[in-house]
Amino acid sequence: MTIPFPRKKVSRAVAAEELAILERTYPHAVTALDYDSPFELLVAVILSAQCTDARVNLTTPYLFARYPDAASLARADQADIETIIKSCGFFRTKAKNIINAARGLVAEHGGAVPPDRESLEALSGVGRKTANVVMSVAFGEAAFAVDTHVFRVAHRLGLTLAATPRGVEDDVTKLVPREQWRHAHHWLILHGREVCKAPTPACERCPVTMCPSRPIVARARRAPKSASGRVRPDGRGAAAGRRPRSS
């Protein structure tokens, strides 16, 4: 079943109410990635692209036992890293990225992970989302990362109509006090994992009763199916199934 996104943003007052409900529902929301240092978090976030946090958490203990810091990872043989992280997907690219990122840390930052966006995004394999996660989680900086969960939930709640992660980031951060940005990221992620799932949200369990996607989901569930078994679009849900474009 493909669920179209709402075609209009909710009012600022409704958005504030929705976010307040999520804050109350997930008051202790934190990253699901296991890490003991900014270096481990950086590597884990790079590995998490197109991969579940659970799978990354199964992989990183062995990786960090062999390569506990940037200096050791910078000297690693790529084939060995590929073997360790193979289950995370895209393992050749990820292996190259984490080795080169470690080399960048050693060469430019004495092996330490820098806390600022410009330095982070200069590292191999680090884009805006990864930089935002590291800044907010490792250093407590005001940053709001947009992954697929955040992208989907922000649209379903009517917080944004943006077609890119950066557009979603800009829209949501206008609705949330700066000091709450890093927490709002986790509210939306947890809600996406536990309730507002892809492809079909569990609206019957959702505490956000004013969500504009509720009637959309109800209509989709009542709609006739095509020969392929999928719900036929009505021609008015152009946003259905939209995936975030890179920002």
Active-site residue among 147, 174, 197, 225?
147
Which two structure tokens, joined as six digits, stand for 96?
A: 């190259």
All domains of the chain, ordered by start, with CATH? 12-28+146-222 (1.10.1670.10), 38-139 (1.10.340.30)
d(CA 139, CA 114): 9
The confidence band for 233, taking pLDDT boundaries of 50, 70 and 90, is: very low
pLDDT per position as a tens digit, 190-201 = 999 999 999 999
Asked about 96 being catalytic, the answer comes back as no
Within 26-138, where are the H helices?
Answer: 38-47, 53-66, 70-74, 78-85, 91-109, 117-121, 128-133
Write down the catalytic residue from 129, 171, 197, 225.
129
Tens of pLDDT, residue by residue over 101-115, are 999 999 999 999 999
Dihedral sign (CA 208, 137, 151, 14): positive
d(CA 70, CA 47) in angstroms, rounded, equals 15
Position 222 scores a pLDDT of 84
Concerning whether 147 is annotated as a catalytic residue, the answer is: yes
pLDDT tens digit sequence for 198-217:
999 999 999 999 999 999 99
Distant-in-sequence, close-in-space partners of 188: CB < 8 Å, separation ≥ 6: 22, 149, 150, 153, 154, 172
3-state secondary structure (DSSP) of residue 157: coil
